[in-house]
Amino acid sequence: MIRNLYENTKDFAFRSAGKRMRSGSGWWSISTLIIALLVSIPVLSVAVNIFVPAGEVWQHLASTVLPDYVKNSFWLMIGVGTGVFIIGVGTAWLVTMTRFPGSRFFEWALLLPLAVPAYLMAYTYTDFLSFTGPLQGFIRSVMGWQAGDYWFPEIRSLEGAIVMMSFVFYPYVYILSRAAFLEQSHSLLEASRSLGATAFESFYKIAIPLARPSIAAGMALALMETLNDFGTVDYFGVQTFTTGIYRTWFGLGERVAAAQLAGFLLLFILVLILVERWSRNKMDFQQGGASRFRFISQYEIKDWKKWGSMIACAIPVLAGFFIPLLILVDMFLENMGAALDARFIQYAFNTFLVAILSGFIALFISLVMAYSLRLHPTYLTKTAARIGSMGYAIPGSVIAVGILIPFGWFDNTLDAWLRTTFGISSGLLLSGTIFALVFAYVVRFLAVSFTTVEASLTKITPNMDEAAEGLGYRFDQILRKIHIPMMSGSLFAAMMLVIVDVIKELPATLIVRPFNFDTLAVQVYRLASDERLAESSGAALAIILAGLIPVIILSKSISASRKIGSSKE
């Protein structure tokens, strides 16, 4: 039906849709402005302090640790960006466009590291690779070496953090790259093959340029997550902007200086996004036509290449999921009595409650904002959307404090007025509630869903909107009947990414959660911070298992969104 609609009304829609698109999209723009204002409240409450003089504290930071923050953050981004691009894009192409032993298994297995928090990777690998750990102990027993007879890389270093984060964050690039490869035009790929292009030539000359919006979106998410990470870099002793914000805020008690560090980090992320968008400003990534929905013909890899492809896909799965899982399972079996208690069910219920609520709310907001940009792409609307989705660049604890400040002010002001006027107390209506916690999650992870939704929406040609509008469809009907069905895989991916991130989120949960409302991540943090990693293995495994369910469903949903055939080369 969509193809007939497109072919029969294209010419009429092209001539007449422009003015109506602009004149009938006002309420979408107003909705985006309101949403952006509400979502940006925590960021704005922190940003107010950027221009407040910090005095000697800022001068001290600039002369001592600030250069290390800049240097380490820069190299961390370069290293992790390179790692997630190579692993994410390479494996996405292999499992989507080629056939080799285990390719069907790796389609979903490559998403498994998404369920493992980065700080959990740091804890498990530090224990496993330390001098007293099982690996070095095994090497010494086999080789007969003593301390000082051999060299072993130090895991608690900048390089170690880069490796850990690359294996944890590459699924952001993998999932969006694979969705882009599944949605690419069949005719373009077949044309490249008919002209004699090899699988690799079709990969880097056709597939990667067409998938650039999705690849860029995935890398942006991975890099923002890298700069926001606290547990890994803090545990490894790497000083970054995030550790500096935590130490300045909670160690020195300097809210203004911490807010200024967060503002600098936000500005840095904004520059990166603007540079990337400017670089592809005049490029067209739309792929229309009926051939886009035909079968994809996969390459069948032969000889040694098939084993190389299998190893390339197996390494990130083993390093990013199975090895940490086995370490935790071993700890759990040895300390089962201490690792399990009756509170686990309550922790799991609390975790899934806030995660599902946050996922649905973030997806709805992202749809409104992305569609508003499509209908009414004015400077004001674009600015509002960017501001509303900037929370991902701010550490979770800073967002939490940015929420508690205005919410606490509102609760105290209302309570004081009610006491004075009516002699009653309203208590805490916003701060210290599940509403505040979910609000923190939405602000923190809205960029995850918004970037995914926007990247998917840009690949749908505007001619379809124009054709549907020419037939009398309203904008909400176009979104509901045309765009959402075509974007179903990406929409589900956007929601699941938020859910998985909420399950693993720690700083915002610690600060904003209601009294006696603990999650699995809080339990892991409490025990691991007391050097009781073995006792935290139960909660850690629960987080991983909880994250496996949406990961598996997500992989099946994306696979079902595109039919795949096969051919030999």
Separation CA 287–CA 185 (nearest Å): 6
Q: Which helix (H) or strand (E) holds 300?
A: strand 296-300
Taking the C-alpha atoms of residue 233 and residue 240, their distance in angstroms, rounded to an integer, is 7
Give the number of other CB atoms < 10 A from CB of residue 426: 15
Helix (H, G, I), strand (E, B) or coil at 21: helix
* Block residue for tokens 């939704």: 453
Amino acid 231: pLDDT: 77
Q: Which residues pair with 487 in a beta bridge?
A: none
Interior angle at CA 431, CA 430 and CA 432, nearest 5: 115
Q: What domains are there in the chain, each with its CATH number?
A: 20-48+339-398+438-560 (1.10.3720.10)
Distances (CA, A) of 499 to 72, 81, 124: 30, 23, 23
Q: Report which residue type is found at 413.
A: T
Furthest CA-CA distance within the chain: 83
Q: Which residues contact 157 (CB under 8 A, 6 or more apart)?
A: 236, 237, 238
Show the CA angle centred on residue 490, arms to residues 78 and 400, nearest 5°.
60
Supply the pLDDT for residue 83.
Answer: 94
The pTM assigned to this predicted structure is 0.74
> What is the predicted pLDDT for the residue at 158?
92
pLDDT at 13: 35
474 DSSP assignment: -
Question: What parts of the chain have a pLDDT lower than 70?
Answer: 1-26, 54-55, 183-206, 209, 249-250, 253, 255, 272-273, 275-300, 338, 342, 393, 472-473, 475-476, 550, 553-569
pLDDT of residue 25: 54
Residue 467, pLDDT score: 75
Q: How far apart are CA 213 and CA 370, in angstroms?
A: 14
- Phi (first) and psi of residue 472, to 5 degrees: 95, 10
H or E, element range at 296: strand 296-300
Residue-level pLDDT at 291: 45
